[in-house]
Structure 1
Amino acid sequence: MTRPNLAWIAAFLAALSLPAGAQDRPEPRPDAETTDTAAADTAAAPSQPAPLTFGLAGPFLAARMATVANDFQAAARFFVQAVAHDPDDRFLQDSALVALVSAGEIDRAVALATRIGSEGEPTELSHLIQRANLVHSGDWAGLLADVGTPSDAEAQADLLAGMLRGWGLLGAGKASEALAEFERLSKIGGVAPMVNYHLALARALVGDYEGAEALLADDMTGAHILGFTARAQILAQLERRDEAVAMIEAVPGVEAEPQLLALRDRIKAGQPVAFDVVKTPADGIAQVFLTFASALLSSPDPEPLSLIHARLAAWLSPDTAEARLMVAQILQERQQFDLAEPEYDALRRMGQMRPAAELSRIDTLSRAGRTDEAGKAALSLTAAYPDLPQAWIALGDLLRQQEKFAQAVPAYDKALVLLDDAPADARWFPLYARGIALERSDQFDRAEADFLAAIEIRPDQASLLNYLGYSWIDRNENLDQALEMIQKAVQLSPDDGYILDSLAWAYYRLGRYDEAVAPMERAILTMSQDPLVNDHLGDIYWKVGRQREAEIQWQRALSLDPTETDDVDPDRIRAKLERGLDAVLAEEAAAPVDAPAPAPQAAANN
């Protein structure tokens, strides 16, 4: 969404802050039942440390550890236990509410917030949850009584309350007052685009499509996915279908927004199109929470409260795909995949799978080592959008990263067929990635053609130059051109340890051992934990007569527990330590081993 002036957020956050860190909180108090006798016990017996598995200390410390790890479910469980031991502690109450809402346990959070409010002055967070519950239960009179009628100054300090009041008035059937409230809020400095978006939704909900469209036509108000969707639906109500189609087709990156494209197709075909971005005032308030979540998430220092607002938005309006998507993406970013997956599943069931979000999800799952889930997501994406080249590239990348090179090739084939008429710059990466998959599956002629085609598009792509140059060197082909390519790659990326390793190894394979020393020593400075680089440096040291240093590097390589994925043969290193490199090379020359050469280490990345 268009980012608003964030001055009001600072004021809002000053009042509604998350619980401070554990170091800012007093030590946990003794259990309630021991408080009256604590002094007597202290006088009667030597001081003993409290066991951490009993009383308040255990759950509190466990909750804090879970919070640091973003394990919201565990944090919720332990903070609730801590609140049971010390039910009047505001820090514990708010911490439990944060964890419960973050974990999606909204009903339990509502129960705790209600109890806090019934026992005295609510905290800011418990008050926010109570307001959301009034909306959820349709108690518009209760909501309006709670938010009151803030003055202009009060509304500026608490914009959220003013926006809740606007939608609350609409829920109570007071449409004219609701629109007037939004118009009043729109005059607050710096927040007009945000408020006008909600004013447009409210106008559309009461049938004022002309007024709504005029507001959304302003890019500051409507230039985001929900705004484009709402405006297109409104233009359809006004029988201005051609304008709706033209507007959608002009949206930047619309080819990756299938929901917008499907809406365009329905409008173009003359099919009925309803205005359903919001269907009820409760949906409108869900959009308020989503607006705040977006603003908090896009602030220079993203606030954890963004997840709380997104969760409340999804709770109030489960069919609002953008709310579920934001929840899923925030949870994914915090490595809480088990909580994120149900949200993604809900989006798929709603027919709201978003390719850009799915591509990000696949990449994140892969980086987190959850390859089975990443693979299922990639296959689902290609099934849902078989004409989306990025989906096939993602599948190919995943298979390639799992070293299933032969299986990756058809995925890249499909992507490149779909990109046949695309600009050249869209083709270089799948050409490069397919080249790697082909080279690693012993199809070098095809791989070489792909690398050369990619280099023609991106002649200054360092990792691409390095890969083909190294491959040629290793095959004893085009040696002068290969060395020039690797030298150019080093100029383009002088601190890349993988490319420095390739340059040194090229010199080594060409018998220029003295020239190989400096780049390999530079490579080891950035890649000291890489077994292959240590092994290479050992070989180079041996060839320049530094045999003791060579043995140290080989021993170092062995100490790093190399595996097949490191392209290092531990038995070969042991042989070099026992008999020396020259003897091992002579043995291999006499009885050559039919094994693929190590691949260049500059793999393709998105």
Structure 2
Amino acid sequence: MAAQDVGDLYWLAQRHEIAGRGDEALKSYAKLLAKSPTSEAAASNLFSAAVREGSFADALAAVKAAQRAGQVDSDLPLMLFADAYRRKKWGEAEIALREVEAQGDFSFMMPMLQGWLNVAQGRDSRVSAQSLQTSGLAAYYSDDQLIYFDLADWNIASAKVRLRNFRGYDEPYGRFLAGHAMGEFSRAGDSEFASALGRQIGLDAGNYGTPPVTADLGLAMLFARLGLALDEQRQPQKGLYFARISTWLAPSSDAAKLALAELLDRQDMDAKASAMLKTIAPNSPFWFPAVVNQTQLASTAEEAAAIAKAATESQAASSQLKLLYAQTLEKAGNRDLAVTVYRSLLDQDKSGAEPKKRAVQLLLLASALDNNGDWDSARNALEDAMQLDPKNPQILNYLGYSLLEKRIDVVRGFELVSKAYQLAPLSAAITDSLGWAHFLKGDVDTAIPLLERAVKGAIADAAINEHLGDAYWAAGRRSEARFAWKAAALSAEGPATERLSRKIDFGWTKETAAP
């Protein structure tokens, strides 16, 4: 093929990319590599396109071409390992592992990769906590892997001990682990511990099951965790590559799909992310987070509410889904129906809900009622919530601030926000409430440091910046007041926009005072 033809093919692929036709760009890059098999640029472009589009065969072809051209990045041997593993060519997989080790950057994965290679061949993993202390990275990324190895080796007692001491449940990889372990403990006859794991990740009680932990799954979870970590370390392309390997190793893994969808979303590939999430079935412990993510990917608030409604109708007993539906309705502006759904949720959970959980549901109902103009009902809900959970700082703050804002009972409002601040002194919203309470009492000198601290914790919050501006103005610090109001105006919406504009131009008056 003539050089000009190669150039034309390259620009055709580029045009497809710019137009958002990723599949066509991938085909063009594949043709380009076929015509220029020693071209590093052709291999690199094909590899990137293959990772974006999820084509294992094209990604592998690009890696082999790069290898022939002498371009061996530290992460490319992992693709060769995945290929050999998928084909059950254990000898080739061992050779790829030696290359991973020689390249250095990902050599910390060696004990885990070798362990899963052993399990895949029907052997004991031969992995221990001591064997994973070869480096700080190996130790850091092995806390969940050790439990996966226990589950794969059917060392249930050891897995139970490690799960009780595990501290990563708030992280995605920890929630993935809990979801998989639920299935194993259910199969082992320990439904109580399985339910406890479900509660760790906020699942409603239900008949959730996951396939047994295999080498495929254990490997997939390692790559999924690393993919998310690499993205957080500002290596999005490499993170997506690792997440793709995760799904290529275990294509039926719902956890791997969740991780990949998250990274696709972060790179603005919303359609691909949504399509991936839709493949997760309702009987999976990972279905609820998949539905949540689908609502977040929706193009409109109405579409998000429709997604939540459909999910709720398919699992009517799920309080999680009903709560999600109510929240999406609020965002869509359908407050009347949102209030109805919140009340239905409270009726549904009336007999079995824990007091603290019910208190939170009442708080959400109160917010919806308040936003819908029914303050009296909202106040009743807040008072009920406070009776159930008198040490919940969010409930105390909401009620206290509302009493202050509406000038109903400034004394009690001050007491409530003061108590909320004692319970949650690091909360910007609560610190703002206390500062504003002092301002309303006329104690500007005490209010300003609190409001300044609140702004540092929520620098883009319009209400907090406006409160600080009002306090500065009262203290005679007119220039600083206008700076604070200008900061508030950057994110203000609705009536606050005009009010702030008047303050900036003419200063504070009783008519323009912050609510």
TM-score by length of 1: 0.59
Task: Check 1:519–1:322 CA distance in 2 against 1; reply closer, same or farther (3 A cut).
Answer: same
Aligned to 1:189: 131
CA shift for structure 1 position 382: 1.9
Residue 581 of structure 1 pairs with residue 509 of structure 2: yes
Pairing of 1:335-346 with structure 2 (within 5 A):
336-346=269-279
| Residue 519 of structure 1 pairs with residue 447 of structure 2 | yes
Query: CA distance change for structure 1 residues 110 and 406 in 2, over 3 Å: closer, same or farther?
Result: same
Note if 1:253 corresponds to 2:199: yes
User: 2:252 aligns to what?
Assistant: 319
- The code of the aligned residue for 2:290 comes to E
User: 2:294 matched to 1:354?
Assistant: no
5+ residue gaps, structure 1: 1-31, 35-52, 66-70, 169-177, 202-211, 236-242, 264-274, 279-283, 586-596, 600-606
- Equivalent position of 1:441 in the other structure: 372
CA distance in 1, matches of 2:228, 2:72: 28
Task: Look at both structures and tell me which one has the larger radius of gyration over its CA atoms.
Answer: 1
> Within the alignment, does 1:397 sit opposite 2:327 as a pair?
yes
Q: Residues 495, 426 of structure 1: CA spacing in aligned structure 2 closer, same or farther, 3 A cutoff?
A: closer
CA contact (8 A) 2:39 2:69 kept: no
2:496 maps to what in 1?
Answer: 568
In the TM superposition, what whole-angstrom CA distance separates every residue of 1:230-273 from its partner, at most 9, and x where no partner exists? 5655x6xxxxxxx365664564528955797255xxxxxxxxxx
Aligned-pair identity (%): 17
In the aligned structure 1, how far is the partner of 2:355 from the partner of 2:261? 34
Secondary structure of the residue aligned to 1:411 is helix
Distance 1:475 1:149 in 2: 68
DSSP-derived class of the 1:427 partner: helix
1:455 pairs, out of 367, 374, 386, with 386
Q: Distance in 2 between matches of 1:403 and 1:298?
A: 34
The aligned runs of 1:188-337 (5 Å cut-off) are 189-190=131-132, 213=154, 215-219=155-159, 224=177, 225-230=179-184, 232-233=186-187, 243=189, 245=191, 248-249=194-195, 251=197, 253=199, 261-262=207-208, 277=212, 286-293=216-223, 296=226, 307-332=240-265, 336-337=269-270
Matched residue, 2:138: none
Cα drift, residue 425 of structure 1: 1.4
Shift of 1:341: 1.3
Amino acid at match of 2:375: F
Q: Write the deviation string for residues 204-248 of structure 1: whole angstroms up to 9, x where unpaired.
A: xxxxxxxx65x3453169965435535655x6xxxxxxx365664
**Which of 350, 353, 359 is equivalent to 1:428?**
359
Report how far residue 92 of structure 1 moved. Answer: 8.0
1:482 aligns with 2:432: no
Tell me, in whole angstroms, the C-alpha distance in 1 between the residues paired with 2:416 and 2:371: 20
> What per-residue deviation string (whole Å, max 9, x for no partner) do you get for residues 78-109 of structure 1?
9959x969965769846853663254232321
Query: For residues 550 and 115 of structure 1, do their structure 2 counterparts lie closer, same or farther at Cα, with a shift above 3 Å needed?
Result: closer
TM-score, reference length from structure 2: 0.67
TM superposition shift of 1:461: 3.7
3-state SS of paired residue (2:443): helix
Shift of 1:519: 1.6
Q: Distance in 1 between matches of 2:266 and 2:491?
A: 31
Q: 1:144 aligns with which of 91, 97, 109?
A: 91
Alpha-carbon distance in 2 for matches of 1:298, 1:562: 33
**How far has the Cα of 1:327 moved from its partner?**
2.2
- Give the residue type in structure 2 aligned to 1:219: A
| 1:320 partner letter | S
Q: Name the SS of the counterpart of 1:347 in structure 2.
A: coil
Using the alignment, how far apart are the partners of 1:161 and 1:342 within structure 2? 30
**In the alignment, is the contact (CA less than 8 A) between 1:461 and 1:489 conserved in 2?**
yes
Give the Cα separation in 1 of the matches to 2:507 and 2:221: 69
Deviation string, structure 1 residues 3-58 (Cα, Å, up to 9, x no partner): xxxxxxxxxxxxxxxxxxxxxxxxxxxxx979xxxxxxxxxxxxxxxxxx99999x
Tell me what 1:383 maps to. Answer: 313
* RMSD of aligned Cα (Å): 5.5
Gaps of 5+ in 2: 133-141, 164-176
Letter in 2 for 1:147: E
Q: Aligned residue for 2:399?
A: 468
Alignment of 1:108-119 (within 5 A): 108-116=58-66
Q: Which has the higher contact order (CA 8 A, sep 6+)?
A: 1
Structure 2 residue 122 is matched with structure 1 residue 179? yes
Structure 1 residue aligned with 2:54, among 66, 80, 104? Answer: 104
The question of whether the paired residues in 2 share the 8 Å contact of 1:256 and 1:356 is answered with: no
Between the aligned partners of 2:218 and 2:109, the Cα distance in structure 1 is 16
**Residues of 1 paired with 2:46 and 2:490: CA distance?**
44
Cα deviation digits, residues 141-169 of structure 1 (max 9, x gap): x5535636999x9999844664575477x
The residue aligned with 2:348 is 418
Shift of 1:536: 5.3
- 1:487 and 1:195 map into 2 onto residues whose CA distance is 45
Tell me whether 116-125 or 385-394 shows the greater mean CA deviation. Answer: 116-125
The CA deviation at 1:346 is 0.9
Between the aligned partners of 2:345 and 2:55, the Cα distance in structure 1 is: 41
Relative to structure 1, is the Cα distance of residues 481 and 290 closer, same or farther in structure 2, using a 3 angstrom cutoff? same
Residues 516 and 193 from structure 1, CA distance in 2 versus in 1: closer, same or farther, beyond 3 angstroms? closer
Distance 1:103 1:406, change over 3 A: same
* SS of equivalent residue, structure 2 residue 279: helix
Corresponding position of 2:174: none
Aligned in 2, Cα 1:129/1:465: closer, same or farther, shift over 3 Å?
same
